[in-house]
Structure 1
């Protein structure tokens, strides 16, 4: 009986015909109808549509789709060929015997090309990299061989029979001559008939009757746009004895009729079907459709076109679709009568600044469409994008957040109330445990850097397993940085990187420091073996330290197990153990564990056909990437919510609104480089798969499936530089066709160039972005607030306080508190009175072992050395501790860097020898402040009568001020002794000293004045930044001596940040505490109005008018 071909321009018309056919019962009332669909999303849509036809009652549209068995083309072929689910010729299984075949053949002359590609028999880094792609190459070749068997069965038949041809009567290129022999060697290892043999046997059995098949007397294929040669042969044989119906969407009935006389497949270069196209889009986008006519020609199907309603189009999209169906490009005379309405938004193209803005624009467009038409529902909208993994998190952030934003002012964006379902996601994107498995494989082959492990610890499964909160992770990150951890688990782990002799900066060395820090301090540089305690760890951190140590220990175990694994089963077992030891899930997410076990066990089971095949780490990485990619399911399609999916599953399913997101140049169509090993790609036949042609067909199908509106977004400008970018070439062709649809070009009305920011005024003013739209384009209330704030009059920020705080209850003051206050008065006020702590920006965790010390690192080492030696520590012990701290470069580099710092420190130390006569002593301070309070504390580093403050950096105001406060305290507490203070800094021209004292009886008065100033500074933010106040006071002192200098200008230099400073040094206006108290980048006038001059003179006047002398040492 003939093959029945039903074709229509839209699948909703096809499915109505399918429903009418299925309504006619089969002869066997218990037999199931069989419908073959190309994708799971189409299956769900067909099921829902058929329920409006099958089993309906008097009211209609209340039926049920039952007794229908849906198959995919793959499952139908498996059924016909009598192959089980674990077909040994499936590419995922074929890769294993193929690997064994390749391994056994690499030394043979015919395999020399493949052996060279895999680095066999060669040494060096390049050869090692080539060997790392062994599994990937085998998997790619397995896919190619399977493709040959499906798309050109005659090719593998010729090879099996010893004819090394291209399967179409041509010679095989010389550089591919190794493939036939590889196929023949592979046949010896696979214990099953090859695909071409099974195909020929099945076709013969079908032609003979095929009574043993579990198929009814009628079956239908629905929605296909391409059928490979092997499937066509099976359909032709099946139609000999059964009723077979093809329900094919065709963009143009007229083009199909024009191709009625074409014969079977030919070489693509000889195909002239484009000459029969009348519309340019059918020529550029519809190659798969044209070639399908050739593919089906040998079957001589009975053509039964579905009647098309003769509706006059009224919109630009309707006109474009009408021209496509008619296979006709309108003439100038025909276009003259088509006047485009500027308000017609049936075809919209939006040029945006990057993916994030595309999603912003998409939600504004969708909310606008839903508001304009109350009958439009989210289920009537389909969003497709070629790169679902890029856009999925952006879509999740822009839609469906009703519960999260219900308490925000205005209730958030209206799109937050739209529920969204994302389909076709990669398994590793939806299951964190599978993502963790991939991360462990990467760690096993990497250096295990500090940031790698911290990222691992931050993953949800690890956080749950080890009970790590945000504060815990921040604290761990600080420990990692302070302990000098960079990369490598331990010295043996570094052996693969030729650094086994250097254990510093490894996780083991750093963890030893953290663990020792729980039990002991770094005082006197005590150490255990090569471990130096970390001071930042206390006994209260013992639980967190234990969890961190356990995490790293388990990671070490996992990496060790993976490094010794060989076959697939061992790899997957070690991986499963590693994931379970490092990760956990909530009870409600137990399915993630089951899915993990299933996927890893399937990966191991797939290798059963290749026993003993050894896998490298790169092989396992490629295996997991292959298995954990996106898979089509029916779960998230047609659920009544807004559906977001890739371009393939739903492209021909009609929706009232179809949105295509991310049609960027270079992304769409997929820019896959031709596979040089693909025999079919060298000289393809019509009907054979071409990815770029497939993507173009997807765009054509999507264009025709939009019944009311088609929305397309692409990156039209770089989000960083603003540089213009063109649309994808197929999209440009659609715009060109739209320009030639009406009397005048419509690109200016169809294409909208969006501003960079959502709060741009054009988005929020009526007709600001779309001239013919009387309302604002955006519905974003937050963006509206931002836009209003941008144009509103700048209002100075409200002061931190309306007035002074009440004074604190009187109490004694310690010298440390006084010194700390004047080193940063605002910080002390915010912390002590308001309990506000502005955290410092966390230091970026470094992954690279330092090979030299920059100026800041050298200062830190030198300052630490000086402080420790001045405190009486053994210089050798101090230098040893510095080497164990992990701050120095490895080996000789570290010794050289330390030697340079030590030499500089030693010079400074020697130049101050006369200031350090006698053993250093510590003196107590106890001063009556006269109001019932006392100042108490201690001053260290007193040599005789000299108070020494020695710094590795330049002599700065903070060091001078701290030394001055110590001098005041000693002079007031010990009036019978005469003290001098010496603050010494390192300058290029030699050490520089600030000498203060000896002081007279006024020391106690000045000290009380400082305490009073502190009391005032604890009631309100005191405008006394140290460097700024010192600059103002020094300039003011010079004016008293007759110098022409402006205190304000000198203070401004210290306060304001110079954006053009060559070293990026910031002023005191960038200090986070100052920003909180005085405003973001406050002008110096704010501090002057608050009393900077008065307070600065109170603080610095005693030093600058005779108490201090600054000069070379």
Structure 2
């Protein structure tokens, strides 16, 4: 029947009134196979190929081609099914997969050839490890790459192999922030297994787990190999000296990867041929790698990638067949979702609505390619598609290509004695013989299937438990005494929306930090905070400041030499002023654990830094909304426990924010309100924001304990809210907060102001006025 269909198609223009021909139901030259999944399609394909190869001795492996418009989706399943140990060995070749690997190797080779021109900043080196071929060669896993990111950040490795490399690039000849110096820090950290210890002018920067010690060796080996190639590639050489370069590249960066052997051999032959041609030209001068790199790129682009392999079943895109005769053509993935999908922007494409004769129609191209595949088949033309949904086993229609082929066959063929059948009935009858539905358990026995289903149920159950665990606990706890930790209560009121996602939904949106790639000309904002905090804690706890200053100098976060000395000296004076104020108030600090019953709720925790005058807190930068509300909640508990002093927090540039002492009843009622607000907020997100706090600071009259009615003050207050929300070129606005973005995309001024007024009024009502305004 296949040959008759081809003749009909090819002779259609010559004789448009072709007579109907009989169709033999036993003819298996055309087959349409319905499967349940992509893997099931490949399993069915494998079974059919085995049957045909066993029954038809005239067909060899290279007589068979398997095509798909979405071949990438099947590559994993092809490799797994065709490489099963207990199955008959079938040689196969995936042209698209091979082409991708060739591109990856060529990209990697080019990256290595550029080593003589790069600064070796941390991102450039880690980018190499993101290539699976390189990470596999150096035996570095994905988990270990994440650890390396952390180590590089901790050791402040920025760029440069060593001081000699920096000198070659006409920079200052210093070891600071280089790879070799960073590795020395890691080795010392491993030897001492303790942070912030100095030995031989090297600072141990991180505590390294002994099980990860091998990773230091892997990193050291990688950097040494890269440095070796940097030196080799940085000099011009006689052309014969470059002859074995690609072979050396394969050995150093792609060793022990058998799946790449064929591609590497081909590329090495191309490289050596290029070098041999230059040698034959009798060119005597030394030549740089840059010229060879450009020439090799030109040659590689000219060489066509191998489309088909002799002695193997070829898998490729349908467009590659292009009338090449094969005894068997098998097209997979012909479901309605697989090809000819409508684009989301089709309604914007005016060419669709107003086509011209010269316009390219993608659907027509697809039909034409499919027709080429049909004509290329000499004995067998098989097709397959996923005909059932994996979720509910609902039927999925095939693509229009299969429907039109069946319709065409029904128009021109019939089974004996069915010549008078209506076209609709003939389509059904022919479909019955052409279409074959394969059983779901094709390669798996029932026991294995049951195990998989059982595992899936457990997975769903676990996901359900993980996602709803906290919500269920909340609901159950409403019926009993609700136990709350002070840390959780404070964490919630600092950022209610973030806490809702972290606690209730068990969701955390991690923002990946970007590594610093240049030497520190100034102290980075985050590092500035770390230095300030480190110095302040050291001064308060009377630690050896000389040793602390030496640790900071060796950490690699200060500018070079005198610039760093001046910056550190100024920072020291600034922090010393804050420390002196803290020492005035800090006398014999104590801490107290507590467990309070507030109606049906139990709250527990520990209050630290309790002075005779009240609670004392401090920070190195400006006092903000989060600091105030944290101190306020601790102050309420302090007063409930019988404290009669004032609680205060000391901030940057002599800022002081403090609260009056409250009575037991006042503190109890306020704390109950904030606990109930916490309970509501972990079920429904509470829009309490920094923008609202900034607005309320401007609009609240702290002397008269009321909101200003002056329109000008209100206008300025709303402007402050808007500026805090939108931000500027120097500071990110609150609307950039990823947690807030998930709740709202618009600035709801009325709601933000209402919530801020409700929860922040008590804080400003009980603020002590006679201190510096914050």
TM-score, length basis structure 2: 0.59
Report the alpha carbon displacement of residue 550 of structure 1 after superposing the two structures with TM.
4.1
Distance verdict in 2 for CA 1:953–1:400, change over 3 Å: farther
Counterpart for residue 746 of structure 2 = 1082
- Per-residue CA deviations over 1:986-1035 (Å, capped at 9, x if unaligned) read 3xxx5322122434324455444433333332222222224524644773
- The 3-state SS of whatever aligns with 2:490 is helix
Counterpart for residue 830 of structure 1 = 501
Structure with higher helix content = 2
Equivalent in 503, 510, 518 of residue 182 of structure 2: 510
Counterpart for residue 661 of structure 2 = 998
- Per-residue CA deviations over 1:699-733 (Å, capped at 9, x if unaligned) read xxxxxxxxxxxxxxxxxxxxxxxxxxxxxxxxxxx
Counterpart for residue 131 of structure 2 = 459
Counterpart for residue 168 of structure 2 = 496
Equivalent in 696, 706, 712 of residue 1041 of structure 1: 706
Counterpart for residue 595 of structure 1 = 266
Q: Distance in 1 between matches of 2:622 and 2:767?
A: 21
Taking the TM superposition and a 5 Å limit, the aligned residue runs for 1:788-803 are none
Q: Which has the higher contact order (CA 8 A, sep 6+)?
A: 2
Mapped contact 1:1032–1:1048 kept (Cα < 8 A): no
Report the alpha carbon displacement of residue 879 of structure 1 after superposing the two structures with TM.
2.5
Report the alpha carbon displacement of residue 890 of structure 1 after superposing the two structures with TM.
1.6
Q: Distance in 2 between matches of 1:766 and 1:568?
A: 56
Q: Distance in 2 between matches of 1:772 and 1:568?
A: 52
Counterpart for residue 914 of structure 1 = 584
Counterpart for residue 959 of structure 1 = 627
Taking the TM superposition and a 5 Å limit, the aligned residue runs for 1:115-264 are none
Counterpart for residue 686 of structure 2 = 1022
Distance verdict in 2 for CA 1:1105–1:759, change over 3 Å: same
Distance verdict in 2 for CA 1:621–1:900, change over 3 Å: same
Q: Distance in 2 between matches of 1:811 and 1:860?
A: 37
Equivalent in 807, 818, 827 of residue 475 of structure 2: 807
Distance verdict in 2 for CA 1:763–1:490, change over 3 Å: same
Q: Is the deviation greater in 1024-1033 or in 448-457? A: 1024-1033
- Per-residue CA deviations over 1:8-65 (Å, capped at 9, x if unaligned) read xxxxxxxxxxxxxxxxxxxxxxxxxxxxxxxxxxxxxxxxxxxxxxxxxxx9xx9xxx
Distance verdict in 2 for CA 1:1065–1:895, change over 3 Å: same
- The 3-state SS of whatever aligns with 1:962 is helix
- Per-residue CA deviations over 1:219-242 (Å, capped at 9, x if unaligned) read xxxxxxxxxxxxxxxxxxxxxxxx
1:430 aligns with 2:102: yes
Counterpart for residue 119 of structure 1 = none
Report the alpha carbon displacement of residue 582 of structure 1 after superposing the two structures with TM.
3.2
Gaps of 5+ in 2: 1-6, 11-67, 76-93, 309-315, 322-342, 367-466
1:1067 aligns with 2:733: yes
Mapped contact 1:568–1:603 kept (Cα < 8 A): no
Mapped contact 1:428–1:434 kept (Cα < 8 A): no
1:620 aligns with 2:289: yes
Taking the TM superposition and a 5 Å limit, the aligned residue runs for 1:333-348 are none
Report the alpha carbon displacement of residue 905 of structure 1 after superposing the two structures with TM.
2.3
1:532 aligns with 2:195: no
Report the alpha carbon displacement of residue 1071 of structure 1 after superposing the two structures with TM.
0.8
Q: Distance in 1 between matches of 2:625 and 2:700?
A: 16
1:937 aligns with 2:598: no
TM-score, length basis structure 1: 0.43
Q: Distance in 2 between matches of 1:771 and 1:1032?
A: 66
Report the alpha carbon displacement of residue 956 of structure 1 after superposing the two structures with TM.
1.5
Mapped contact 1:807–1:1019 kept (Cα < 8 A): no
Q: Distance in 2 between matches of 1:1006 and 1:533?
A: 47
Q: Distance in 1 between matches of 2:568 and 2:351?
A: 64
1:983 aligns with 2:649: yes
Mapped contact 1:481–1:843 kept (Cα < 8 A): no
Mapped contact 1:449–1:488 kept (Cα < 8 A): yes
Taking the TM superposition and a 5 Å limit, the aligned residue runs for 1:624-1023 are 624-629=293-298, 630-633=300-303, 642=319, 759=345, 761-763=347-349, 767=353, 806-807=474-475, 809=477, 812-840=483-511, 842-853=512-523, 858-916=528-586, 918=587, 921=589, 923-930=591-598, 931=600, 933-940=602-609, 945=613, 947-973=615-641, 975=642, 977-986=643-652, 990-1001=653-664, 1002-1023=666-687
Report the alpha carbon displacement of residue 834 of structure 1 after superposing the two structures with TM.
1.4
Q: Distance in 2 between matches of 1:763 and 1:1030?
A: 47
Q: Distance in 1 between matches of 2:769 and 2:476?
A: 36
Q: Distance in 2 between matches of 1:1034 and 1:778?
A: 66
Mapped contact 2:71–2:317 kept (Cα < 8 A): no
Across the aligned residues of Structure 1 and Structure 2, the Cα RMSD in angstroms comes to 4.9
Q: Distance in 1 between matches of 2:519 and 2:102?
A: 35
Q: Distance in 2 between matches of 1:1034 and 1:1059?
A: 15
- The 3-state SS of whatever aligns with 1:923 is strand
Q: Distance in 2 between matches of 1:607 and 1:471?
A: 45
- The 3-state SS of whatever aligns with 2:575 is helix
Report the alpha carbon displacement of residue 478 of structure 1 after superposing the two structures with TM.
4.6
Counterpart for residue 786 of structure 1 = none
Distance verdict in 2 for CA 1:607–1:824, change over 3 Å: same
- The 3-state SS of whatever aligns with 1:592 is helix
Mapped contact 1:1032–1:1050 kept (Cα < 8 A): no
- Per-residue CA deviations over 1:191-214 (Å, capped at 9, x if unaligned) read xxxxxxxxxxxxxxxxxxxxxxxx
- The 3-state SS of whatever aligns with 2:605 is strand
1:1112 aligns with 2:772: yes
Question: Alignment length, in residue pairs?
Answer: 553
Mapped contact 1:804–1:1020 kept (Cα < 8 A): no
- The 3-state SS of whatever aligns with 2:568 is helix
Distance verdict in 2 for CA 1:1069–1:446, change over 3 Å: closer
Counterpart for residue 487 of structure 1 = 159
Mapped contact 1:963–1:982 kept (Cα < 8 A): yes
Report the alpha carbon displacement of residue 556 of structure 1 after superposing the two structures with TM.
3.5
Larger radius of gyration: 1
Q: Distance in 2 between matches of 1:835 and 1:1009?
A: 25
Q: Distance in 2 between matches of 1:493 and 1:428?
A: 35
Q: Distance in 2 between matches of 1:991 and 1:480?
A: 36
Report the alpha carbon displacement of residue 1111 of structure 1 after superposing the two structures with TM.
3.8
Mapped contact 1:516–1:533 kept (Cα < 8 A): yes
Mapped contact 2:596–2:602 kept (Cα < 8 A): yes
Q: Is the deviation greater in 634-643 or in 432-441? A: 634-643
Mapped contact 1:565–1:571 kept (Cα < 8 A): no
Mapped contact 1:1033–1:1101 kept (Cα < 8 A): no
Q: Distance in 2 between matches of 1:530 and 1:611?
A: 54
- The 3-state SS of whatever aligns with 2:161 is coil
Report the alpha carbon displacement of residue 454 of structure 1 after superposing the two structures with TM.
1.5
- The 3-state SS of whatever aligns with 2:594 is strand
Gaps of 5+ in 1: 1-58, 63-398, 407-419, 645-756, 781-799
Report the alpha carbon displacement of residue 625 of structure 1 after superposing the two structures with TM.
2.4
Distance verdict in 2 for CA 1:877–1:634, change over 3 Å: closer
- The 3-state SS of whatever aligns with 1:929 is strand
Counterpart for residue 113 of structure 2 = 441
